[in-house]
């Protein structure tokens, strides 16, 4: 299952026409202790670059943007009870939502793991 | 010298570095810009640092704050023309919280005033220290000398184990109670300490020469009770303690009664007046102010932050001035301003966050009990 990364520090695992989306380990490290996550409702229509979710650390609220166009099929309900999952397992159990892919060609603009690592090293 | 300082502040200065800048960076602090300085917001993480202070002792670098001294005959009486506290009754070695007031009674800053024996010490907020100094110089008589002690830094050691840790370096610490101050020496340096702080816990603030700061901080952090703590935890700790932050919960549009700081209007000053805005402030003291700063408990887990509007039904009634997740409470809390008739603890209102209404309840503060040591051995 290919994994893609965005410059907004999100990851996408693509399985057929559906992607699972979360924020990267780098992102959770920057945010610090996460105390609240608001995931999108099932059925929400997302547009690449538009607001998709909100993640709040002790200090501040941050927007999570939709990496591509599509429709939300599921939000991670576990984050409501245990938002710290985003700190402890950001690229696994701490996923945010799943969405359909309206236009798979949008994936071509995203980074692979090596490119994302190089991107972070330059920050 | 003074003129040079004033000229320098008119040119927008670049972000300054604290005397302990390299010390913080060596400890892997995440540095952010605050009050014109690069300051450590966190070391290992806000939540862990917050809990450490409630259980052990945390060292804060608050050298961005302004340390000012006033000397000359009648300095206390002169200061009383600008603040509502009974400064002339303050005994040597005692301190009190007070407010620098604008002509109309609005709060220009909140500050700590100490009778240091030969002079009056004032600690003001870093973000407005230059404005404060200008206002004091403009409004105090010429025969009162004002010094801005820029060659001194300020550290705070806060938490239930602060007294044990600090006493190993400065034995005088154990002899103080809350809101007492003393002079001492450490490694040949003249230092000043007070049993005070901004976390709701027992603790101390220690003023010492810039060149002694790193060694002193190292000596404290070598103790198992002590860890360095950043601005992030300082903010969550003071919020839980119900303590307002100037520039957020207080500003020049708010008077002391609106700010729920009536305790800062000393008894004699209530009777005699003679401070800026006395008519407005004493009127609000007698009749209640139209609005008041209150604590807010938030339903659910979503933080309600500064700027969130407060509603009673569809009527906008106020605004949140500080808010966030409270680690020791385990839930979000906030403070903000509501009309007098909504200020009673238990009043149910709502906050608006990202277009959604969140139920909130007016709550008594502090959210976490204060642990001040008010009596020696008591």
pLDDT digit string, tens, across residues B337-370: 999 999 999 999 999 999 999 999 999 999 999 9
Q: Which residue has the higher pLDDT, B211 or A59?
A: B211
Identify the CATH number of the domain in which residue B176 sits.
3.30.1360.120
The Cα A116–Cα A118 span in angstroms is: 5
Average of pLDDT values for A95-113? 96
How many domains does chain B contain in total? 2
pLDDT digit string, tens, across residues B166-221: 999 999 999 999 999 999 999 999 999 999 999 999 999 999 999 999 999 999 99
Identify the CATH number of the domain in which residue B351 sits.
2.40.30.110
Confidence band for A52, pLDDT divided at 50, 70 and 90: very high
Q: Which domain holds residue A31?
A: 3-121
The whole model's pTM is what? 0.94
Identify the CATH number of the domain in which residue A104 sits.
2.40.50.100
Instruction: Judge: A56–B45 Cβ closer than 8 Å, yes or no.
Output: no
Q: What is the ipTM of this complex?
A: 0.89
**HEC string of chain A?**
CCEEECCCCEEEEEECCEEEEEECHHHHHHHCCEEEEECCCCCCEECCCCEEEEEEECCCEEEEECCCCEEEEEECCHHHHCCCHHHHCCCCCCCCEEEECCCHHHHHHCECHHHHHHHHHCC
B132 falls within a domain: no
The Cα B46–Cα A58 span in angstroms is: 7
B114 falls within a domain: no
Confidence band for B11, pLDDT divided at 50, 70 and 90: low
* Chain B contact for A29 (CB, 8 A cutoff): no
Residues of A within 8 A of B332 (CB-CB) are 35-36
Which residue from A54, A56, A58 is facing B46, i.e. has the nearest CB? A58
Whether B204 and B335 share a structural domain:
no
The Cα A115–Cα B151 span in angstroms is: 48
- Smallest CA-to-CA distance from B241 within B195, B196, B302 is with B196
pLDDT digit string, tens, across residues B70-112: 999 999 999 999 999 999 999 999 999 999 999 999 999 999 9
pLDDT digit string, tens, across residues B114-169: 999 999 999 999 999 999 999 999 999 999 999 999 999 999 999 999 999 999 99
pLDDT digit string, tens, across residues B245-290: 999 999 999 999 999 999 999 999 999 999 999 999 999 999 999 9
Whether B233 and B304 share a structural domain:
no
Whether B162 and B307 share a structural domain:
no
The Cα B206–Cα B155 span in angstroms is: 5
* Chain B contact for A38 (CB, 8 A cutoff): yes
Q: Which domain holds residue B337?
A: 290-378
B85 falls within a domain: no
Where among B207, B240, B273 does a domain terminate?
A: B240
Sequence-separated (6 or more) residues with CB below 8 Å from residue A33? A57, A58, A84, A87, B45, B46, B47, B48
Whether B342 and B214 share a structural domain:
no
Q: What is the pLDDT of residue B14?
A: 86
Per the annotation, binding residues of B for substrate are 205
Where among B208, B240, B272 does a domain terminate?
A: B240
Whether B236 and B320 share a structural domain:
no
Whether B296 and B367 share a structural domain:
yes
How many domains does chain A contain in total? 1
Q: What is the mean pLDDT of chain B?
A: 95
Q: Is B151 helix (H, G, I), strand (E, B) or coil?
A: coil
Whether B225 and B300 share a structural domain:
no
């Amino acid at each position: 299952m290919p994994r893609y990364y965005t410059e907004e520090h999100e990851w996408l695992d693509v399985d057929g026409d559906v992607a699972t989306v979360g924020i990267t380990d780098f992102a959770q490290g920057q945010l610090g202790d996460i105390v609240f996550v608001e995931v999108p409702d099932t059925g929400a229509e997302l547009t690449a670059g538009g607001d998709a979710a909100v993640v709040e650390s002790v200090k501040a609220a941050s927007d999570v943007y939709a990496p591509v166009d599509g429709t939300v099929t599921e939000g991670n309900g576990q984050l409501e009870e245990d938002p710290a999952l985003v700190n402890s397992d950001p690229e696994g159990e701490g996923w945010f939502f799943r969405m359909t892919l309206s236009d798979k060609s949008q994936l071509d603009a995203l980074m692979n793991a090596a490119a994302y690592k190089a991107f972070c090293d330059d920050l | 010298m003074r003129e040079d300082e004033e000229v320098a502040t008119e040119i927008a200065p670049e972000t300054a570095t604290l005397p302990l800048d390299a010390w913080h960076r060596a400890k892997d602090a995440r540095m952010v810009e605050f009050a014109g300085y690069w300051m450590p917001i966190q070391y290992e993480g806000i939540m862990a640092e917050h809990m450490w202070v409630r259980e052990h002792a945390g060292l804060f670098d608050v050298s961005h704050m302004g340390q000012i001294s006033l000397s000359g005959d009648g300095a206390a009486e002169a200061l009383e023309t600008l603040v509502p506290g009974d400064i002339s009754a303050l005994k040597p070695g005692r301190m009190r919280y007070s407010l620098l007031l604008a002509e109309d009674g609005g709060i220009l800053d909140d500050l700590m005033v100490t009778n240091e024996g030969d002079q009056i010490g004032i600690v003001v907020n870093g973000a407005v220290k230059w404005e404060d100094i200008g206002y004091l110089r403009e409004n105090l008589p010429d025969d009162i000398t004002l010094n801005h002690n820029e060659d001194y830094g300020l550290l705070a050691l806060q938490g239930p184990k602060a007294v044990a840790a600090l006493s190993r370096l400065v034995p005088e610490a154990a002899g103080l109670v809350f809101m007492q101050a003393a002079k001492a020496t450490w490694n040949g340096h003249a230092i000043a300490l007070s049993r005070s702080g901004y976390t709701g816990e027992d603790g101390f603030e220690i003023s010492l020469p810039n060149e002694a700061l790193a060694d002193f901080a190292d000596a404290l952090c070598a103790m198992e009770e002590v860890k360095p703590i950043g601005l992030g935890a300082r903010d969550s700790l003071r919020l839980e303690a119900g303590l307002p932050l100037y520039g957020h919960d207080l500003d020049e549009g708010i008077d002391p009664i609106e700010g729920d700081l009536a305790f800062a209007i000393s008894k004699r000053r209530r009777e005699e007046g003679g401070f800026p805005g006395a008519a407005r402030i004493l009127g609000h003291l007698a009749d209640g102010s139209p609005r008041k700063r209150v604590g807010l408990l938030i339903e659910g887990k979503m933080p309600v932050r500064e700027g969130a509007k407060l509603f009673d039904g569809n009527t906008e009634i106020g605004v949140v001035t500080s808010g966030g997740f409270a680690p020791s409470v385990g839930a979000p809390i906030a403070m903000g301003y509501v009309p007098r008739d909504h200020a009673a603890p238990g009043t149910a209102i709502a906050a608006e966050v990202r277009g959604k209404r969140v139920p909130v309840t007016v709550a008594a503060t502090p959210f976490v009990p204060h642990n001040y040591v008010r009596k020696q051995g008591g």
